[in-house]
């Protein structure tokens, strides 16, 4: 997946290396911009650059004619909110908050309390995105977060004769997540993300490229994030059970760093979807 400046469908603008999906950021795949949707409570960095045009699933025997293109990649990533600053639901919600819209007011209250947003609020945000990118590969990062949202998403995709084909569940230790959250600093104008523990700015509190001040999100606190983790663990198992009963393939990737998770994700995509060109 990707953004401007060669961003990545696991995305963000070029900048300092960040959390696990700097992960997805290192997948340098050319192509069109993809859906940029992310966790309503999350921070998922990376998901830039598109996967390119048509995808071909591997077959057991060689085709006798030109390979038949299958449907576009329809993938979601499930995981506790971590240090992955993605373009997505979280960014859309923050934009609504900055604009002072009624939806933004609801989002601000939920974020400050560390609770999940009402299903209809999130669906209202992502539905236009899904329709706009119906002819492209996309990764929906951080949504759905509970089984009821998954059911609504299934119905929304089915209305356009579409469906998910890959669900990636990220299994990361809670203490690692909390450490990353508390040490995270953001350059708001560009979206560049720093972390005191593994990706600190050259000058504390300043953006490496512009020298402008860095900020922390008001909801990046141990108290609020602990509430988010409780909500995540309560909802994630039913969510996995929901997708176990669908045609989507469910895969769990375990690790504490991007160096551990990225190779697993890369191998998974190469195995399930061929024709992912590299620069």
> Residue 34: what pLDDT?
32
Tell me how far the alpha carbon of residue 147 is from its chain's centroid: 18
Q: Are residues 112 and 202 in the same domain?
A: no
DSSP single-letter state for residue 76: E
How many residues does this entry show for the chain? 279
* Cα separations in angstroms, 242 against 24, 197, 236: 26, 36, 10
Q: Are residues 126 and 82 in the same domain?
A: yes
Q: Are residues 158 and 205 in the same domain?
A: no
- Residue with structure tokens 């669908």? 246
Q: Is pLDDT above 60 for 35? A: no
- Residue 86: inside a domain, yes or no? yes
Structural domain of residue 165, as residue ranges?
74-170+233-272
Among 3-12, 65-74, 120-129, which is the least confidently predicted range?
3-12
> Between 167 and 29, whose confidence is greater?
167
Read off the pLDDT band of 54 (50, 70, 90): very low
Among 81-85, 125-129, 152-156, 209-213, which is the least confidently predicted range?
81-85
> Residue 51: what pLDDT?
33
> Between 136 and 203, whose confidence is greater?
203
The pLDDT > 70 percentage for the chain reads 66
> Residue 70: what pLDDT?
54
0.95 exceeded by pTM? no
Q: If you average pLDDT over every residue of the chain, what do you get?
A: 72
Q: Are residues 82 and 104 in the same domain?
A: yes
Closest among 171, 190, 194 to 182, alpha carbons compared: 194
Closest among 46, 70, 37 to 272, alpha carbons compared: 70
**70-77 average pLDDT score:** 65
- Residue 200: inside a domain, yes or no? yes
The structural domain count of the chain equals 2
> Residue 238: what pLDDT?
95
- Residue 184: inside a domain, yes or no? yes
Q: Are residues 157 and 245 in the same domain?
A: yes
Q: Are residues 120 and 152 in the same domain?
A: yes
Q: Are residues 114 and 238 in the same domain?
A: yes
Q: Are residues 238 and 158 in the same domain?
A: yes
Q: Is pLDDT above 70 for 139? A: yes
> Residue 25: what pLDDT?
34
- Residue 10: inside a domain, yes or no? no
> Residue 35: helix, strand or coil by DSSP?
strand
What is the CB-side half-sphere exposure of residue 215 using CA atoms within 13 A?
8
> Residue 140: helix, strand or coil by DSSP?
strand
Q: Are residues 103 and 179 in the same domain?
A: no
- Residue 27: inside a domain, yes or no? no
Q: Are residues 266 and 151 in the same domain?
A: yes
Residue 91 structure tokens = 């960014």
Neighbours of 222 (CB within 10 A): 11
Closest among 9, 227, 32, 265 to 114, alpha carbons compared: 227
**190-194 average pLDDT score:** 90
Determine the angle formed by the axes of helices 222-244 and 102-113, rounding to 10 degrees: 100
Q: Are residues 201 and 101 in the same domain?
A: no
Q: Are residues 132 and 249 in the same domain?
A: yes
Among 72-76, 159-163, 173-177, which is the least confidently predicted range?
72-76
What is the CB-side half-sphere exposure of residue 228 using CA atoms within 13 A?
28
Q: List the CATH number of the domain containing 162.
A: 3.40.50.300
């Amino acid at each position: 997946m990707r953004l401007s400046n060669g961003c990545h469908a696991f995305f963000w603008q070029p900048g300092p290396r960040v959390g696990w999906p700097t992960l997805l950021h290192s997948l340098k795949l050319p192509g069109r911009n993809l859906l940029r949707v992310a966790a309503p409570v999350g921070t998922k960095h990376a998901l830039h650059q598109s996967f390119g045009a048509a995808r071909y699933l591997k077959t057991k025997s060689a085709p006798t004619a030109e390979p038949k293109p299958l449907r576009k990649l329809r993938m979601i990533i499930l995981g506790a909110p971590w240090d992955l600053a993605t373009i997505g639901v979280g960014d859309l919600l923050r934009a609504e908050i900055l604009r002072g819209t009624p939806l933004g007011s609801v989002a601000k209250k939920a974020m400050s309390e560390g609770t999940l947003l009402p299903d209809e609020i999130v669906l209202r945000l992502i539905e236009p995105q899904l329709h706009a990118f119906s002819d492209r590969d996309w990764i929906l990062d951080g949504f759905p977060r509970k089984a009821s949202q998954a059911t609504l998403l299934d119905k929304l995709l089915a209305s356009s004769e579409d469906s998910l084909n890959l669900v990636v569940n990220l299994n990361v230790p809670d203490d690692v997540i909390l450490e990353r959250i508390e040490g995270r600093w953001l350059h708001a104008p560009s979206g560049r993300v720093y972390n005191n523990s593994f990706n600190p700015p050259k000058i504390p509190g300043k953006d490496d490229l512009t020298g402008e001040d860095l900020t922390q999100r008001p909801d990046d606190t141990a108290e609020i994030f602990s509430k988010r983790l409780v909500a995540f663990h309560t909802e994630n198992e039913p969510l996995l059970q929901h997708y176990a009963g669908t045609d989507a393939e469910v895969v769990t990737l375990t690790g504490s760093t991007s160096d551990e998770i990225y190779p697993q994700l890369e191998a998974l995509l190469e195995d399930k979807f061929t024709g992912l060109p590299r620069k």
